[in-house]
Amino acid sequence: MRPETMTSAERFHAAVTLQKPDRVPVAPLIGAFIARHFGVVMQEFYAKHNLSVDLEHALFDQVGGWDVITMAGPTDPITFEAGFPVRVKRPGRELPPDAVIQFDESKPAILAEDYDLIAKKGWNAYYAQDLVPRLRPEWAGPEGGARLGAIMGAFGRDSMMNIQYWKSRGIPLLGGGMFSHPFEQLCWGRSLHEFYIDMFRMPDKVLAAIEAYLPEAIEAAVGMARAVDIPSIFIGCARGSSAMLRPAQFEKFFFPYLKKAVETFASQGITSLLHFDSDWTGFLPYFTQLPKAQCILELDSATDIFKAKEVLRGHMCIMGDVPATLTKLGTPEQVSTYVKRLIDEVGGDGGFILSTGCDTPADAKYENFKVLVETGKTYELSK
């Protein structure tokens, strides 16, 4: 086997800038899988920052390491509870102690009449004054705000410690900030069903709310990335996909706002990590309008990643997409075969980062996870 000739940071940089690294960078997303692997009950894993961080490091070393960490920090659902307009079901609270967290959209948090409020006062004021009292009354008002501030302070401090840890090991980090696309946020808050119906019934109100929200969402994302000194922003989307929307709806409600955000980030030297779950195959040509070599399109296996490469070759780095079903139900041989195909067909001329399709599921098999990382690190160097 040939030796590696690049560091993880060089390898990652080469991939993002569409060059061919010595081998494909490997960057699996891990969260709840860590807990199940080490036999820790999910409730405890989410509650103890030191534990989730230590186990993340332990898993990393157990498989001999990989190249990139995405969204470094303790695995704590507080990140969703504090900024996501949807009810979060936690293990040990609404769910059995060893369940993974789930989002509950059964009762919309945002009401149809709220679009006007958001358009008038902006998202941040609406969120604090109207949504938090309704969704999470324990954090409303000055006292509630102080409570949340203390929780987020602890989370921020522990995240920074973990970020410093990875930096000291020379591991590049992805996702310093997080951009909440207004379309996705409003859709989660309204519930997917109600939001899609609103697109038909009250398109102007929906658009006005999106317009008002956008500048604040961009500012918040840049602020986060700057605060932790990681020049990349995580953009998680699933509901504006080509499985869900017609092209005309995508052009009206989704794409212009994504483009504006990504262009703003790129102008400040910040890479956008487009963590796009669901099937975006039909909208891939639009992504050629985004700044060249300044985005990573991370796919979860619902989008045709081979088609994505064909459309975006020479324009955008692709990341993904070993399916969650394969890591749970497949054999190591099947995982290895799929990883090799990804490396050959998507990674062949560079501009590719090997990853899991979305997150590694909690109930994935360890031997499958291990072979994913090992094949990613050795296949090209062994050829």
Partner 1 sequence: MDNRLVQNVADLNEEEVLAQIRKELAAGTDPGAILEACRKGMNLVGERYEKHEYFVADLMMAGMIFKEAMEILSPKLKGMATAAASKGTVVFGTVAGDIHDIGKNVVVSMLGAAGFDVHDLGVDVPVDKFVAEVKVTGAKVLGLSGLITVSYDGMKATIEALKAAGLRDKTKVMIGGGIVNESVRQYTGADAWGKDANEAVAICQRLMGGK
| Minimum distance from residue 194 beta carbon to partner 1 (Å) | 9
**113 vs 200, beta carbon nearer partner 1:** 200
SS (H, E, C) 211-234: HHHHHHHHHHHHHHHHHHCCCEEE
The residues with which 299 forms a beta bridge, in sequence order, are 276
Residue 258 class from Cβ within 10 Å (0-12 exposed, 13-18 middle, 19+ buried)? buried
- Minimum CB separation from partner 1 for residue 216, in Å? 26
Q: Classify the phi-psi angles of 137: left when phi > 0, otherwise alpha if psi is within -120 to 50, otherwise beta.
A: alpha
Q: Cα–chain-centroid distance for residue 288?
A: 21
**Toward partner 1, which CB reaches closer, 111 or 192?**
192
Closest CB 43 distance from partner 1, rounded Å: 15
Tell me the closest approach of the beta carbon of residue 297 to partner 1, in angstroms. 19
CB-wise, 104 or 345, nearer to partner 1? 104
Instruction: Write down the least CB distance from residue 298 to partner 1, Å.
Output: 16
CA angle 142, 120, 209 (to 5 degrees): 105
Closest to partner 1 by CB, 82 or 192: 192
Which of residues 325 and 382 has its CB atom nearest to partner 1 in the complex?
325
- Of 129 and 325, CB closest to partner 1: 325
| Residues at the site binding partner 1, with contacts judged by CB under 8 A | 89, 99-100, 102, 104-106, 192-193, 196-197, 199-201, 242-246, 249, 282, 301-302, 323-326, 328-330, 357, 361-364
Nearest residue to 110 (alpha-carbon basis) of 184, 174, 55, 44: 184
State how far the Cα of 305 lies from the Cα of 321, in Å rounded to an integer. Answer: 7
- Least Å distance, CB 205 to partner 1, is 16
Tokens of 260: 């504006």
What is the smallest separation between the CB atom of 248 and partner 1, expressed in angstroms? 11
Nearest distance in Å: CB 303, partner 1: 12
Instruction: Please say which residue, 89 or 167, places its beta carbon nearer to partner 1.
Output: 89
Report how far residue 96's alpha carbon sits from residue 184's, in angstroms, rounded to the nearest whole number.
28
Check if the beta carbon of residue 178 is closer than 8 Å to that of residue 233.
yes
DSSP-assigned states of every residue in 232-282: EEEEEE-TTSTTT--HHHIIIIIHHHHHHHHHHHHHTT-EEEEEE-S--GG
Please give the single-letter amino acid code of residue 103. F
Strand 232-237 vs strand 177-178: parallel, antiparallel, or unpaired? parallel
Determine the Cα–Cα distance for residues 193 and 181; give it in Å rounded to an integer. Answer: 18
166 or 276, CB closer to partner 1?
276
